[in-house]
Chain A
Amino acid sequence: MFTDVAQAESRIAQDTQLAMGTVMAYRIWGTNAQACLEAVFGEIARLEGLFSRFDPDSEISRINRSAGRSSEAVSFTTMQMLRQALDICAECPGYFDPTIGPLVALWNIGKGSFAVPGAAKIQRALDLVDYRDLLLDPAQGTAGLRRSGQSLDLGGIAKGFAADQVMNIFQEYDVRSAYANLGGNVAAWGGRPDGFPWQVGIQHPRSTNGLIGAVAVRNGVVVTSGDYQRFVTDPQGRRFHHLLDASSGYPAATDLLSVTVAADSGVLADAYATSLFIAGKAGARRMLREHPEIEAVLVGQGGQIYVTKGLAERFQPAEGIRVKIFD
């Protein structure tokens, strides 16, 4: 009997896929591993179909096309995500905004040719960014944007939301040990098959093959936002990263290189990793004081690593990396 259980638990299903514009990798242990993996694939495809800005038939594309004219009927899932997005806007004012679409389209960082947009154009796009213009009617199941030209971009939250959905599937399939790496957003479910917590490495923002350390996680999501993930350098050697500041209209002028957030919820981890990065060290300190449930590892401009107190025990720095407590 015990052997049967052991054999079942040693069953593993793993795969990678290209989805949501990135690479996703899964490893799942347990009796239902294969069925669970298939369900995860199905869910990711479904979410991509709902949220993609590049798929004209997605619900987000429909909302964007109807901006300033009408609201669109949306699925429960899309409504759920947009509501969560608005909740976070209220908590991270100025740093996170799902209506950032016009700015993202204008800068177009990491997608083809690049030129710094003119100040007037930036201002025009910036005027369209305002989450209060996202009109949700949960009773009717509709979502719309108040002004013409406004558009949603869920880049700062969609993969985090997907991580939460994937964890729900792990739970549904009674999986005890699994992880999903959704383009660098890691959903760690249960612990490792050997009973230890998952060790999630954190990418070094300036060394492609390097890690700054690893964080031990059970049932949580780890997300890293940094200036190194997507950026362009102009002929003058100036670096423009893809994390746009919804209050200035420019790539965030931050004194951080990257921020990693570990949280129970993928939506929170994703949105806070971006928001704390954009906020910079001082802003991040303020936000983290107000939200003790958020644990983070921050890399300062000089390469100094800061770890929140609650995470210090679970963070193991890489060789030669020195860490300060962030409080």
Chain B
Amino acid sequence: MIGWLIALVVVAALAIAGWKGWRYIEREHKEARSLPLDAVDFSKLKDGTYTGEYEGGMYKWRANSVRVTVSGGKVTQIEPLSGIEDQGDGKTQMLYDRVIQAQSLQVDTISGATLTANAYLQAVENALLQAE
């Protein structure tokens, strides 16, 4: 009977500890998930080498810094400086490569575009909406 009681207390203690621990991790995860990434205006980049740091959330687990090189108005290189462990699968580098590739032109509208099928279809669609 005493043995059962001890076992129960140990299980309860573990459960409480686990729950508390999980709460800690959960807060950290939440923060990481909701990290606001402000829109960078890629058209305004000035040439140079810049170091960027992220303090890494509540428990500093994700602290890291990188060096970004801008030349010709474009991001040409991103190098990890600290806090970044490439887990052997090159995924971090792939992520950086995507940033470099994806700095495509985010345009609002286009000057000199010939009349595209899309534009025509849009106008037709708008006309049909009114016709409904």
Contacts and interface: CB of A to CB of B under 8 A. Distances in A.
Given A15-B126, A216-B43, A229 B114 contact: yes
Nearest to B129: A15
Contacts of A17: 123, 126
Interface string B82-112: 0000000000000000000100111111111
A201 B108 CA distance: 7
Contacts of B115: 22-23, 183
A198 B112 contact: no
Contacts of A208: 114, 116
A22 B110 CA distance: 14
B112 A224 contact: yes
Contacts of A23: 115, 119-120, 122-123
Contacts of A188: 108-109
Given A15-B126, A18-B123, A23-B120, A316 B43 contact: yes
Interface string B22-62: 00000000000000000101111000000000000000000
Interface residues of B, number: 26
A258 B112 CA distance: 9
A184 B111 contact: yes
Contact of B110 (A203, A228, A314): A203
Contacts of A18: 123
A229 B112 contact: yes
B18 interface: no
Given A16-B119, A18-B123, A199 B43 contact: yes
Contacts of B39: 194
Interface of B: 39, 41-44, 72-73, 101, 104-116, 119-120, 122-123, 126
Contacts of B106: 199
30 contacts: A18-B123, A22-B115, A23-B115, A25-B122, A27-B109, A179-B109, A183-B115, A184-B110, A184-B114, A186-B110, A188-B108, A196-B41, A198-B108, A198-B109, A199-B105, A200-B109, A200-B110, A200-B111, A203-B111, A211-B107, A211-B110, A214-B105, A216-B43, A223-B112, A226-B112, A260-B111, A314-B43, A316-B42, A316-B43, A318-B104
A68 to B, nearest CB: 35
A231 B113 CA distance: 14
Interface of A: 15-18, 22-23, 25, 27, 179, 181, 183-186, 188, 192, 194, 196-203, 205, 208, 211, 213-216, 222-226, 228-229, 258, 260, 314, 316-319
A183 B123 CA distance: 12
B14 to A, nearest CB: 48
Most buried by B among A183, A201, A319: A201
Contacts of A197: 43
Contact of B105 (A184, A198, A229, A318): A318
A205 B114 CA distance: 10
A227 to B, nearest CB: 11
Nearest to A181: B109
B43 A200 contact: no
Nearest to B105: A214
Given A16-B119, A23-B123, A25-B119, A203 B112 contact: yes
A201 B119 contact: no
Nearest to A203: B112
Contacts of B42: 316
Contacts of A184: 110-114
B111 A316 contact: no
